[in-house]
Structure 1
């Protein structure tokens, strides 16, 4: 039985119900489908770390691990990711893509496209992508980060892709003022079961197309879809590069290797494969 919280908190258990693991498994695990298992845990440090351990032990492709709360969630550059229990979607998937190694860099970008298209259908929210791995929503006309993606190699042939997405966070629960959530963006649905199914079905479709195209981003349609949904393109940015270097320019393209191409004021083009990118306000 569900234990009801009688304390006068901002949220009750009824407002943030737990995920329905059996229903998720029934809806996602189908014959000849990608998803082979779906486990929901009350809390863990990091779903990526847990699933990487399962991958090392031989877990099959298509394993999904969801946590109602992550106590040591990680983003890029080892940044932490925390949120109240049952306030979002915090999950990882295990993939074993038989594609050329140089194309694996497309997996976080592909996942961004899948999450954005899944949420557009299920939540009615326009989710933009900030290169390389942030999910943005618009709150009161302002761009805010509502989620992130982290892809990590797990052995020779496995990749674990983790997604963290703020669903029901209110303004006074945000970790930083620049954060957002689906609730603050006016989502038509905050039902996490529905949202998770939509995102995973979208990921199955995009991953299947990409894998069938041998990881080719153009042939699979991923490169075009990412460019169409990427809020970074067409605007001035500052790229903070490894080695305490930075590069200023206009983001003009995402190339075939998933790198962000910047054009400097001098007209030079530089492809950025790693680093932080800051969106700058236009001068116009």
Structure 2
């Protein structure tokens, strides 16, 4: 199973430095608004409950609009209503020895790769601190240069997934991972041979990134996705493991919900598939 595959996974705006900066600015504005307006609203509510009115130079009143709760998702952050119903996260059991690392919140860890310079399969779990939050994994080499970056949003339920490190033709070797997470997290580093394998007749599902081997030729499949925000994003990419051709996407959508028939564009007997999402439940059924 040779590696050094052509083309690294496309980084989303969410996990880019610019995207994280925008999200941070929005969060700061929301907190500032809450600090400024919340005390005033509490004062107004207290005065209304005691029957006292504040001094006013006008005898006319207008309905006071309710300030949004800064602790609740906005319309853009709430889960969209949909009839699409992906399966709950399920994957073939991971096998092989692994190194496990745990933490809570931001932390940088040194990792041990089980087979020296060989690629590894990263399994991760991220728990939301309260309702929802962003998580990010930044893999680095010994010199501190970035080798890979991926992340998304965790909301309501634990996000779990897998990701291949050092499997692409960039010549880099990961030795540490910088974790940004809203709550408790766990990482397991498996040998690359632990990647799950599926074939026709299988259904695989998840709620974050997922990587697996597909053994079989070109096939029809059904893909379902419900994002955990109203602006979800989902991408499915395939690489022949023999390096005979470049990456080929079989689904690429930026919608709240997706249900569509797709074609798995396999041209060889074995392909690596990576599902890349900002977050939400998805399933791929290959009948």
Shorter-chain TM-score: which interval? under 0.3
For CA contacts below 8 A with separation 6 or more, give which structure has more relative contact order: 2
Q: TM-score, normalised by structure 1?
A: 0.28
